[in-house]
Structures are given as structure tokens and as C-alpha cells.
Amino acid sequence: MSEKILVIGELQQGVLRKVSYETIAAAKQLNANAEILALVLGDGDLQQPAEEMIHYGADRVVTVSHANLSNYTSEGYGQVIMEVMQDEKPSGMIMGHTSVGKDVTPKIASRLELGLISDAVAIEKEDDQVLFTRPIYSGKAFEKKVMKGEGLLFATIRPNNISALEPDASRTGDITAKEVDVKDLRTIVKEVIRKKTEGVDLSEAKIVIAGGRGVKSAEGFNALYELADLLGGAVGASRGACDADYCDYSLQIGQTGKVVTPDLYIAVGISGAIQHMAGMSNSKVIVAINSDEEANIFKMADYGIVGDLFEVLPLFIEELKLQGALVS
């Protein structure tokens, strides 16, 4: 266990994001024999998320709690992560490609003059080299990248692509609270306006029902919510639907919005613009419901229904109810 890989447990309103567990699985793919060290940072009692990281496969956890970490700032998080890196000298580091991960990792890479591979969807080993696969050109192509030289294996991973390990509640490991004086922040977060809706987190959902301009109104989205409830999924949207005020921008999927990789993506009244595809093209199974048989979304779809969504959705809901306990 000479080598060490550092992963970051990312908290969102006190709860670990699922991608945190995936970073542990990714770390094991870098080096199956390395010690996996997790850093959990925030403000308050971090014992529970620390234990969860261990259940999901981390060997040891360092927690850092500080009032200046209650809201994310690149400076606050940057100071803590770099201090832990200095203490622990890991040979690899993995974080989720989330709003926070995208923001803080290039700062660290730049300060320490490191390479960084962002938004990896797969990791493999070939002759002792670690290859990271990442989408480019809005998902129209992929590239495999490697670190040159001996530097830190440093990457962010796209949520929902590398499966987390099965949790084991009997696993134990050392949890140490570390003091870091988080200071000299030039950035102040004054207010956070949360727009997230209740229920399953869109970027982590296994099933996503997304509506577009074709849904035609906010009321039209009710059928999507009902479907999502039945399937245990989350509702998303295209830019078109958000711009038309049928739903909040926090539901937007695509290049500008959330990037999702669910097992099942149902696109309802969405044409399939490239900027939308950039956010969902990696989904495992894609269903399109659209009245225009020429719509681009059908090129991506595994299953398509050419038809009026206002006719299809009620039947879909009825059929699911009929099938009874299908809820996953």
C-alpha cells in the first residue's frame, strides 16, 4: 500500500453527492492496490459522510470543517485540498466533474503546474499506462488521454459513468479531523438561491424524463412529473422549454445545463439540437416521443414513437399503472 490516491467527498447541503462514491471506484481503477484516502470538507459534523466514504471503499478519511467552507469558494476549497495534498503526497487524485470539481481542479493543477484530464467517462490500464476516455466536440467524438511523465494522475469524472462499488456497512477505517485555517478569501458568497425541485437529483437520476418546447406549457409538464414519479426518475428539460418558461432553468439539460447519463432517457417534444445532445448522448437507452418523424432526436433514439405527446403520455402513464409495481 505504498501508493495513495486522494478522492474528494463532495457535500451538497450536508449530503454526499453520489459521484463522490464513484471517485472511489475510479481511484481503484487507477491502481487497485493503492490506499484510497478521501477528503471530506465542509462546515459542521462530517463524521457521517466520512463513514459513508469508508463504506463505499475508502481506506481512510481526512475531514476538514471550517465556517469558511460552508459555501464553496475556489479559494477556500483550494487551500484545504492543496494542504492535504502536501501532507499526503498522493500519486493520483479524482474528483467529480461537477460545478465544484470543474472550478477547483484547474486552480490546483495550475498552482502545482500539473496536467489535468477533465470529464473522464472511462478509465482503463494498458501496459501500466492509465488511459482516460473523455467526450469531445459535444459528444460527437471521444479521445483517450494520458498523463505525460511521472506527474500526479489527476482527473475529474463525469457523474453516473463509472459505477460506485457496493457499499459495505461493516467496513471501518481511520477518520481524522484536520485543522486548516481557511483565510484571506477574496470571494464572498452573499446568497444562494436554490432552485432544485424535490425528489431525485437530476444529474444523478437513473431515469430522466425530459420535456421540450413541444410540451407547450407548464401544465403540460405535469404529465412528465407523473411519469417520473411512477418510474422513480427525475424531470429535465431542453433549453427551448426553459426559455418558454414551461419550467425552471435548473432543469435544463445540455451543454449549458446539466450533463446526465441515466440508464433511461425519455425525450418528449424535444428536437435534438446538438447542444441538447451534448448533455445526454451518453445515456444508456434513449426513447424519443416526437410528432415529427424527421426530428434529429430519432437519430439518437433506441426506441421511438412518432406521435402526439398529448396522446402518448396519458397512455404511457396508464400502461405503467396497469403493470402495477414496476417502480424501480
Partner 1 sequence: MNIYVLLKKTFDTEEAISVSGGRIDESGAEFIINPYDEYAVEEAIQQRDQHGGTVTVVTIGDEDSEKQLRTALAMGADEAVLINTSEDLDEGDQFTTAKILEAFFEGKEVDLILAGNVAIDEASGQVGPRLAERLNMPFITTIVKLDIEDEMAKIEKDVEGDLEKIEVSMPVLVTCQQGLNEPRYTSLPGIMKAKKKPLEQLELDDLDLDEDEVEAKTATISIFLPPKKQAGRILVGETGEQVKELVSLLSSEAKVI
Ligand X SMILES: Cc1cc2nc3c(=O)[nH]c(=O)nc-3n(C[C@H](O)[C@H](O)[C@H](O)COP(=O)(O)OP(=O)(O)OC[C@H]3O[C@@H](n4cnc5c(N)ncnc54)[C@H](O)[C@@H]3O)c2cc1C
Residues numbered 266 to 295 that lie near ligand X (CB under 6 A) are 269-271, 273, 275-276, 279, 290-292, 295
CB of 102 to ligand X, least distance (A): 10
Task: Find the binder of partner 1 among 32, 67, 169, 193 (CB under 8 A).
Answer: 193
Greatest alpha-carbon span in the chain: 61
| Cα 145 from Cα 124, distance rounded (Å) | 11
For residue 255, state whether it binds ligand X (rule: CB under 6 A): yes
Q: State which H helix or E strand residue 126 sits in.
A: strand 122-126
User: Is the distance from CB of 138 to CB of 296 less than 8 angstroms?
Assistant: no
Options 52-60, 88-96, 132-140, 168-176: segment touching partner 1 (CB under 8 A) = 132-140
Number of chain residues interacting with partner 1 (CB under 8 A):
93
Nearer to partner 1 among residue 99 and residue 172 (C-beta): 99
Nearest to 224 by CA among 314, 326, 319, 324: 314
Task: Find the binder of partner 1 among 151, 164, 204, 213 (CB under 8 A).
Answer: 151
C-alpha cell at 161: 459513468
| Cα 235 from Cα 230, distance rounded (Å) | 12
- Cβ-based burial of 57 (10 A; exposed 0-12, middle 13-18, buried ≥19): buried
Nearest to 276 by CA among 295, 249, 257: 257
Number of chain residues interacting with ligand X (CB under 6 A):
27
In this structure, how many other beta carbons lie within 10 angstroms of the beta carbon of residue 109?
18
Task: Find the binder of partner 1 among 88, 91, 263, 291 (CB under 8 A).
Answer: 263
The partner in contact with residue 300, picked from partner 1, ligand X, none with C-beta cut-offs of 5 to 8 angstroms by kind, is partner 1
Q: Which of residues 288-317 bind partner 1 (CB under 8 A)?
A: 288, 293, 298-307, 311-312, 315-316
- Cβ-based burial of 157 (10 A; exposed 0-12, middle 13-18, buried ≥19): buried
CB of 35 to partner 1, least distance (A): 25
The partner in contact with residue 37, picked from ligand X, partner 1, none with C-beta cut-offs of 5 to 8 angstroms by kind, is none
User: Is the distance from CB of 301 to CB of 294 less than 8 angstroms?
Assistant: no
The partner in contact with residue 285, picked from partner 1, ligand X, none with C-beta cut-offs of 5 to 8 angstroms by kind, is partner 1
For residue 137, state whether it binds partner 1 (rule: CB under 8 A): yes
Strand partners, 15: 12
Residue nearest to ligand X (CB): 254
Cell 475531514: give the residue.
63
Options 43-51, 55-63, 148-156, 211-219: segment touching partner 1 (CB under 8 A) = 148-156
Query: In the complex, which residues of this chain contact ligand X (CB under 6 A)?
Result: 212-214, 238-241, 252-257, 269-271, 273, 275-276, 279, 290-292, 295, 308-310
